[in-house]
Chain A
Amino acid sequence: MYYFDFVMADLSQYSRLTSKLGFRKIFSPNEVSVVKSIRAAQPSGRSILISSDNRELSKSPRAGSIVGVIFEDMAVRKMLMSELRDSGKFLVFAAWQIVSEDSTEAVARIRKARELARNALHIGVPLAIASLAPSIDDVYSSMQLIEMAMLIGAGEETSRRMLNAMGELLYDTKKKK
């Protein structure tokens, strides 16, 4: 199974990073952008929407340019998650939503992410995890991202799929073009 990552920083200067970290491909912001509103998403491209605004999030299942959604506040939105499942869009966890330098804060974040992941798995939303690194210091290897997915309650097989499914969808689409 191939693993894919998505980043928010331009890491083109770091050669061999992709293979070193155990990925098939790391999608740059030019290929898959992270946007705060659907209006900002490129119609021809692929974007990940990050928001905690319910109105903005509720439009995401019908937006063709959105491939995945990040609930910035990690609140459980069952109706929206059902719509995401029906439209085949991914609920994405960013590594920086889980990681914190302060251990107490880290525990609180993991508990919140666990609740969201548990509900998402119950509803059947496709899940994904990515580093979405804003800088080189925030990049993680595939091994680390799998462990993070397991920390938030996904089983081993699900964790591996979380690192594979969204990237494979986009990678194949690009190859076909």
Chain B
Amino acid sequence: VDANLYGGDIRSRMLEFMGVPSYVDASPRIIPVSDNVFIVRVSRNTERQAIAALSFIKSIGNTKLGLCTIKTSGTIKSLLKAARSSEQR
């Protein structure tokens, strides 16, 4: 999945599963890291709802897929570091 292309689709599916009030609270943004890794930035204390919503996304566009949450953190910097180190390994 190219998160640059599918960022809007991922967010619209999150809206479907979170509902408008929770989605507005979370205000998710997609930050691509590599071809199949991306960061979902959400507001503090809404990460659990975002994790649950991501579990329900089984396709984006015509592509069937499964999304797994690997790590949650308070800063994007540490998530980028973790994503890059896991790619190198």
Interface residues, chain A, with chain B CB atoms under 8 Å away = 16, 20-22, 95, 99-101, 103, 106, 136-141, 143-144, 147-148, 150-151
Contacts and interface: CB of A to CB of B under 8 A. Distances in A.
A111 to B, nearest CB: 15
Contact of B55 (A20, A22, A103, A148): A148
A4 to B, nearest CB: 16
A103 B66 contact: no
Nearest to A21: B68
B65 A21 contact: no
- Name the prevailing secondary structure of the A interface residues: helix
Contacts of B86: 16, 20
30 contacts: A16-B86, A16-B89, A21-B70, A95-B55, A99-B56, A100-B56, A101-B56, A101-B58, A101-B59, A103-B17, A106-B17, A106-B56, A136-B66, A137-B58, A137-B65, A140-B66, A140-B68, A141-B69, A141-B70, A143-B51, A143-B69, A144-B52, A144-B54, A144-B69, A147-B48, A147-B51, A147-B52, A148-B52, A150-B48, A151-B52
A141 B86 CA distance: 15
A20 B16 CA distance: 28
B64 interface: yes
A140 B89 contact: no
Given A106-B17, A147-B48, A140 B55 contact: yes
Contacts of B66: 136-140
